[in-house]
Amino acid sequence: TRVLGDVVFENVDFGYTEGKIVLHDVALYAKPGQKIAFVGSTGAGKTTITNLINRFYPIMDGKIRYDGININKIHKSDLRQSLGIVLQDTHLFTGTVAENIRYGKLDATDEEVIKAAKLANADGFIQHLPEGYNSILTGDGGSLSQGQRQLLAIARAAIANPPVLILDEATSSIDTRTEAIVQQGMDRLMEGRTVFVIAHRLSTVKNSDVIMVLEQGRIIEKGSHNDLIMQKGKYYQLYTG
Ligand code: DCP
Ligand code: MG
């Protein structure tokens, strides 16, 4: 059984090695339909938090719960099925476009593949490929633009239909028109899920329900964009600076 998508951190301390704490006393609460953004300078602990949501490492102190259940008590395969990850550079393999999307759900039908591609806004460019969904991608999708690769990553995540999503936004610039297409696909993908974003774009940060500002492994501010702007603290500095 999958989790529903309530994610809670209670006073979480963590370090990759004994004696070097990287996250201090992290608390957060997220539920389906909410988007939580992590911002902060390099090394602040953004990726580390998402590593813990994935249970890639055991925590040193505190609790992480899914739907009230301690993360350590959840079966690995249930956790894997419940979490979708869209990374800056999603790996595409040598195979057809359809196979690359189906990787998110191996028993998906052709109809499901097309539905996911449509949701992701990928159907348009796929239709224009010489062989459509049967076009072969070689060399890690090297023949596709960066934006097109992102659309396939969104389609792959959509077909798996996970309640919890982790997004590591791309930093590299794609043109404005493509970005709008990617953003629309992403917005559709996020709908109704619990979403954690490592945000690099101001637009994404701004429309998050909660923005968590990290500094040296601590959450130093949290709130909506408007809350944090009014607070005139670190986020305000980042935003106006
Ligand atoms: N760290 C570590 N061992 C690892 C990964 C990270 O000791 N395998 C350390 C480096 C930082 C701290 O943990 O001091 C937090 O690293 P993160 O990767 O979580 O930092 P960010 O994701 O916030 O940084 P960036 O914006 O550069 O991705
Ligand atoms: Mg990182």
Distance CA 39, CA 66 (A): 23
Nearest Cα residue to atom 1 of ligand 1: 16
User: What ipTM was predicted for this assembly?
Assistant: 0.99
What's the gap in Å between 39 CA and the centre of ligand 1?
A: 13
Question: Ligand 1 centroid vs 45 CA: distance in angstroms?
Answer: 5
Calpha distance 29→51 (Å, rounded) = 16
CA-closest residue to ligand 1 atom 26: 42
pTM as predicted: 0.94
**CA separation for the pair 185, 179 (Å, rounded):** 10
Confirm or reject: Cβ of 57 under 6 Å from ligand 1: no
Digit-by-digit pLDDT tens for the chain (241 residues) are: 789 999 999 999 999 998 899 999 999 999 999 999 999 999 999 999 999 999 999 999 999 999 999 999 999 999 999 999 988 777 899 999 999 999 999 999 999 999 999 999 999 999 999 999 999 998 777 789 888 999 999 999 999 999 999 998 766 667 888 889 998 999 999 999 999 999 887 778 999 999 999 999 999 999 999 999 999 999 999 888 8
Ligand number, closest to the Cα atom of 15? 1
State the DSSP string of 43-54. Answer: TSSHHHHHHHHT
CA distance 29 to 19: 27
Distance of CA 51 from the midpoint of ligand 2 (Å): 10
Provide the token pair at 196: 């954690």
